[in-house]
Amino acid sequence: MRFYLIFIWTFCCAICFAQQGTISGRLIDGKTGRAIPSASISIKSADKKIVAFKSTDAQGAFHIPFSRDRAIHTLEVNHLGYKKYSIPLQDIAANFVISLEEQAIILEDVEVKSKPMIRRLGDTLAYDVGQFAQEEDRSIGDVIKRLPGMEVSESGRIKYQGKEISNFYIDGDDLLDDRYALGTRTIPHRMVKDIQVLNNHEHLKVLKNKRFTDQVALNLVIKDDAKLKLTAEAKIGVGLPKQYDSELNSILFNKKYKMLNVLNGNNSGIDLSNELIGYSRDNTLARLGTMPINNLLSLGTVGAPPLAKQHYFFNNSGAINTNNLLNLKRNWQLKSNIQALYNRSHQNFSGQSDFITATETVSFYETQQSELEEFLAAIRLSANKNVDKKYISNALSLEYEKENDWASIRSNEQGIGVNRQHKIRGLSNQLEYVPALANGKVIQLNWFLNYGSKPQSMYLQPGIFPHILHNGQAYQETIQRLDVPNFFTRISSGYRLPKGKISQYYGFNVSLENQQLSSSIEIDQAGLISLAALDSSINNMNWQRGQYMGNAEYGWKNKRLETSLLLPFGFQRTSYEDANYELDEAQNRWLFMPHFRLKYRAWREDELDFSYNFSNNFGNIQDVYRGVIIRNYRSLSQNTAEINESNTHTLAFNYRLNRTFDMLFSNIGLNYSRQQREAMLSQVISNDISQTILLPMPNNVHTISAQLGADKYVMPLKGTVKLKTNWAYTEFQQLFNGSLLPFQNVSYGLDPQMTIKLWKRIDFAYQGSLQWSVSKQRDFPGFENSIFSATQHISIPFYPFKGAHVRISGRHLYTRQSVQRDLNYFFVDAFARYRILKWKTDVELQLSNLGNIKTFQTYSISSNQQSQNNYELRGRMAILKVIFAL
């Protein structure tokens, strides 16, 4: 009995203690009766100090242990969106229910004085230009080069984490198409607020989130005050020896109208043709049809040295580049891009090329003085409407190139004069119509038309190869004439079903292509012109290809994982004929070229890509003509093989790691390809002639490569550190002087880069490129070519006083090869600028090649060939330039 009395007494005391020591209750919305979670519950003393605190749980309940005197304490409830509630503790009963009344809260304006240097919102990454720009920068291209994750080549091509950008927008408008080098060089960085990287970009708004895409685009966000007025600059530069460099540009970027127009000219080594070349789309000058038809005739075999072109480009150039875009009502957009270039340049070169096998070495020693005169013009007119429910576009392109060049050549003690002339005329038109239907499905229609011709001729004095072309008798002049007109058209249609667990697309396209190759080799003897004494001195080939393809595409997306499977299938017929050789051949092929892509978003920002692709390539008319063509003063070319069919399996893996908060960007990639060819190029070389013939022999090429890159912005150094490394291995066979030679090429590369601040007024920039390459014949262990080259560029900008900028820079080039002496060069440049703010004027002085280096040597190796080349350089230069803001 005593036990039970003690137990009951203890239990009652516990209840009383619990009631006295805990404040419990529940919060609800006064209108809806729903529980209010995450509200602040505080108990305050008489002097308003908080003595206890709790937050409500998901059910709106709270329990606060409390054993003090309730009479002098108050319970207070706070929650954003509700009126504050207060009640004395002594008025609270057990399990008290508090009903809160809603209250709208108007926040005061908040001024953000500092924002992150890099921001991410979904697939868009934004760099704050103002925080990355430095005093020495003029254009937006100068800023892009130092952004972590970005890469800019010397020609102006932009990549993000190793992937080339597909579009370059200015406030959302694609003013420059893929010829954006003009924009990155010309647009002042002070006009740009942010540089946006658009991952997984889709240019057609009607197809956004409706098909697989892994493209990357760039968008410049223009500042509001820069949209209100026209910006113009006049640059006038003169220097020694007899140098000039001038430019006039005008820029306007507002919502309705955008323009970027430039007129410039120089003889200081600046190549203006870079701004006329498209990076990511095919243009008429480069490609006529589905396969490239190169300029088959050339002056010689001179390549470019591994130097900035300004060091060796002896030019006199002028160009006009106009780009205008007008946004009309109802979302229509009109655009014109018109460019023209005139250039006259010359080059002096000497070198030796050795072709090595296990049994012999054939060498060429040559000198060449050449001069080039060219005129380029391109007109592109387009109209488009790109909205959520429809895309319609028509783009017309006209392109023209005229080129004349001359060379005085001495090869193995034989003197030769060469004159080459060619014209390229091209026209293309592309019409696209992509409407979305009321049920969400999409129709895609596309028609592309292209016509171009490439008449070429070459004159060589005295006449070459007399033992082949003129029965062993010397003659005055050799004339090679050539023309390759081309017509191509493709019509495609498709039906896209984007909804459902698996998105679907079904399409069909028909393409027709016609190429013609007419050529002749003539000899001029005492003013009498006749065909060469060779039974294969002419070509008159007609080549046609028709392709009829269906395509099924399936896509699947589930949270972080997205895949796409393309299944193109169809029939292709290729035929060609040349009555001169009783040639009338045709090939029929069924085609199936699957393509699989997978994209996985790992963690919060990382991305993994995998792709497999199988492709067929059948060459073009260049691979089947039978007559001999003189390609240059010592090279003859012809074919005996049928259609050069090849198929390629390609595997690619990429992993991109992003840490926006830490400003760290890295990527790793692995690629493998196996190509099986039905024909092999045979080289037959003696001391005065080089012949190439495409023979019907199988040839397999295996290539594997890997690359790794990492970029980090380091806050203590106020700069970016970048590191890239790459490795590549290739196996192939080559037929040389009747011997089948198996080759292995291996190359390694390491590219470090940094741009940091040393002291308050002194910066430091370093960019290096270290390359190792080895080429060897597998069956001949003793034959191996290896070469190491290093290019290092150091720059020290400093700011001695306000408005002044001085930069000293040096470029070191080193080459080591086992059979040659080491090459070592060091170029020093200097630059100074003074900015007169009152007059909106900059005065610049540029000093180049202060060491006055006038010759430059290079070594190069490829398979069984090694070359030693000597180039003439421009020497010391000084240019004083005044830049006016108009």
Q: Are 672 and 573 within one domain?
A: yes
pLDDT at 154 over 90: no
Chain length of the chain: 886
Q: Are 622 and 708 within one domain?
A: yes
Q: Average of pLDDT values for 81-93?
A: 83
Q: Are 428 and 450 within one domain?
A: yes
Which residue, of 100, 134, 153, is where some domain finishes?
100
Find all residues with CB under 8 Å of 672, minimum gap 6, and list them: 650, 651, 652, 703, 704, 705
Residue 196 or residue 644, greater confidence? 196
pLDDT at 773 over 60: yes
**3-class secondary structure per residue, 384-451:** EEEECCEEEEEEEEEEEEEEEEEEEEEECCEEEEEEEEEEEEEEEEEEEEEEECCCCCEEEEEEEEEE
Q: Give the sign of the dihedral formed by CA 528, CA 533, CA 535, CA 541.
A: negative
Query: How many angstroms separate the CA atoms of 176 and 159, rounded?
Result: 17
Model pLDDT, residue 278: 74
Model pLDDT, residue 863: 61
Q: Are 472 and 511 within one domain?
A: yes
**Six-digit token string for 276:** 């006329």
Going through 778-854 in order, the beta strands assigned E by DSSP cover: 784-798, 804-817, 823-836, 841-848
Model pLDDT, residue 109: 53
Query: How many angstroms separate the CA atoms of 477 and 532, rounded?
Result: 11
Q: What is the CATH number of the domain that holds 95?
A: 2.60.40.10
pLDDT at 786 over 50: yes
Model pLDDT, residue 684: 76
Amino acid making up residue 571:
F
> Are the C-beta atoms of 483 and 455 separated by less than 8 Å?
yes
Query: How many angstroms separate the CA atoms of 546 and 576, rounded?
Result: 12
Q: Name the pLDDT band for 345 (thresholds 50, 70, 90).
A: very high
Q: Has residue 862 been placed in a domain?
A: yes
pLDDT tens digits, 319-343: 999 999 999 999 999 999 999 999 9
pLDDT tens digits, 587-602: 999 999 999 999 999 8
Model pLDDT, residue 760: 84
Q: Are 385 and 503 within one domain?
A: yes
Please, which residues bridge with residue 817 across strands?
Answer: 787
pLDDT at 280 over 70: no
Q: What is the CATH number of the domain that holds 295?
A: 2.40.170
Query: How many angstroms separate the CA atoms of 548 and 534, rounded?
Result: 40
pLDDT at 203 over 50: yes
Q: Are 207 and 89 within one domain?
A: no
Give the three-state DSSP class for 782. coil
pLDDT at 96 over 90: no
Task: State how many domains the chain has.
Answer: 3
Model pLDDT, residue 304: 76
Q: Has residue 552 been placed in a domain?
A: yes
Among 75-89, 660-674, 696-710, 731-745, name the one with the lowest average pLDDT. 731-745
Maximum average pLDDT range among 233-237, 397-401, 738-742: 233-237
Model pLDDT, residue 45: 83
> Are the C-beta atoms of 305 and 856 separated by less than 8 Å?
yes
Q: Average of pLDDT values for 227-233?
A: 91
Query: How many angstroms separate the CA atoms of 294 and 301, rounded?
Result: 15
pLDDT at 13 over 60: no
Q: Are 482 and 526 within one domain?
A: yes
Q: Average of pLDDT values for 155-172?
A: 91
Model pLDDT, residue 781: 60
Q: Has residue 109 been placed in a domain?
A: no
Give the three-state DSSP class for 594. coil
Q: Average of pLDDT values for 772-780?
A: 79
Which residue, of 49, 72, 100, is where some domain finishes?
100
Q: Has residue 266 been placed in a domain?
A: yes
> Left (φ > 0), alpha (ψ -120 to 50) or beta: where does 546 sit?
beta
Q: Has residue 108 been placed in a domain?
A: no
Q: Are 538 and 587 within one domain?
A: yes
Model pLDDT, residue 506: 98
Q: Are 416 and 503 within one domain?
A: yes
pLDDT at 453 over 80: yes
Find all residues with CB under 8 Å of 184, minimum gap 6, and list them: 139, 140, 141, 144, 152, 156, 158
Q: Decide: residue 715, CB within 10 A, 0-12 exposed, 13-18 middle, 19+ buried.
A: exposed
Range of the domain at 203: 118-243
Model pLDDT, residue 698: 84
pLDDT tens digits, 468-527: 899 889 999 999 999 999 899 999 999 999 998 999 999 999 999 999 999 999 999 988
Q: Name the pLDDT band for 279 (thresholds 50, 70, 90).
A: low
Q: Are 72 and 179 within one domain?
A: no
Residue 94 or residue 649, greater confidence? 649
Q: Has residue 110 been placed in a domain?
A: no
pLDDT tens digits, 800-854: 998 899 999 999 999 887 667 788 999 999 999 999 988 889 999 999 999 999 9
Q: Average of pLDDT values for 180-186?
A: 92
Q: Are 66 and 128 within one domain?
A: no
Which residue, of 190, 211, 243, is where some domain finishes?
243
Q: Name the pLDDT band for 782 (thresholds 50, 70, 90).
A: low
Query: How many angstroms separate the CA atoms of 632 and 511, rounded?
Result: 34
Q: Has residue 249 been placed in a domain?
A: no
pLDDT at 107 over 80: no
Q: Name the pLDDT band for 17 (thresholds 50, 70, 90).
A: very low
% of the chain at pLDDT higher than 70: 92
**3-class secondary structure per residue, 62-87:** EEEECCCCHHHCEEEEECCCECCEEE
Q: What is the CATH number of the domain that holds 168?
A: 2.170.130.10
Query: How many angstroms separate the CA atoms of 594 and 592, rounded?
Result: 6
Model pLDDT, residue 743: 81
Q: Name the pLDDT band for 5 (thresholds 50, 70, 90).
A: very low
Q: Name the pLDDT band for 101 (thresholds 50, 70, 90).
A: confident
- Nearest partner of 135 among 755, 719, 763, judged by Cα: 763
Query: How many angstroms separate the CA atoms of 185 and 726, rounded?
Result: 28
pLDDT tens digits, 233-264: 999 999 999 999 999 999 999 999 999 999 99
Q: Name the pLDDT band for 306 (thresholds 50, 70, 90).
A: confident
Q: Decide: residue 496, CB within 10 A, 0-12 exposed, 13-18 middle, 19+ buried.
A: buried
Q: Has residue 161 been placed in a domain?
A: yes
Q: How many CA atoms within 13 Å lie on the side-chain side of 609?
A: 21
Q: Are 646 and 752 within one domain?
A: yes
- Nearest partner of 619 among 602, 638, 642, judged by Cα: 642
Residue 291 or residue 361, greater confidence? 361
- Nearest partner of 701 among 669, 744, 737, 735, judged by Cα: 744
Task: State the CB neighbour count (10 A cutoff) for residue 826.
Answer: 12
